[in-house]
């Protein structure tokens, strides 16, 4: 059993866990925005003392924050797929076939977006 199927099973049987992770994602998103606005001046002053070390630390924290927000959103939304045979890591056709040009990738994405809800009706 894959990790995705284990997470899906837990979030389906305990829906409050999925709701908690969705709430955590929203809290982290708005908390990050608030902290960025509130502590902008002290953070920029701290970063100006050693741009390379402190700047890279701030960038690493931003990347970690974005990763956690996306992770929490994925765990929170994993309860919505009802079919047991559905793949956990589905992508649109342009990614699977490795679209050679930007136009072909855009066309595949557009086709995917037009048909995304048809299988759920």
The alpha carbon dihedral of 89, 110, 119, 16 has a sign of positive
What's the maximum distance between 2 C-alpha atoms anywhere in the chain? 57
Question: Is the pLDDT higher at 119 or at 109?
Answer: 109
Give CA separation, 58 vs 52, 55, 65, 80, 81, in Å: 10, 5, 10, 34, 36
Q: Is the pLDDT of residue 100 over 90?
A: no
Q: Cα separation of 66 and 32, whole Å? A: 9
Sequence length of the chain is 121
Give the three-class secondary structure for 96. Answer: helix
User: Which has more confidence, 58 or 118?
Assistant: 58
Any idea which residue has 């040009």 for tokens? Answer: 101
Q: How far apart are CA 31 and CA 51, in angstroms?
A: 24
For the full predicted model, state whether its pTM sits above 0.75: no
Q: Please determine, for residue 68, whether its predicted confidence score (pLDDT) is greater than 60.
A: yes
């Amino acid at each position: 059993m894959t990790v995705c199927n284990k997470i899906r099973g837990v979030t389906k049987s305990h829906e409050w866990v999925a709701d908690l992770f969705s709430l955590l994602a929203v809290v982290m998103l708005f908390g990050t925005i608030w902290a960025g606005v509130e502590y902008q001046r002290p953070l920029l002053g701290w970063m100006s003392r050693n741009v390379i070390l402190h700047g890279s630390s701030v960038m690493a924290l931003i990347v970690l924050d974005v990763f956690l927000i996306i992770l929490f959103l994925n765990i929170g939304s994993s309860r919505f797929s009802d079919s047991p045979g559905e793949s956990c890591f589905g992508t649109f056709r342009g990614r699977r076939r490795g679209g050679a040009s930007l136009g072909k990738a855009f066309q595949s994405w557009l086709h995917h977006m037009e048909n995304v809800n048809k299988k759920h009706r």
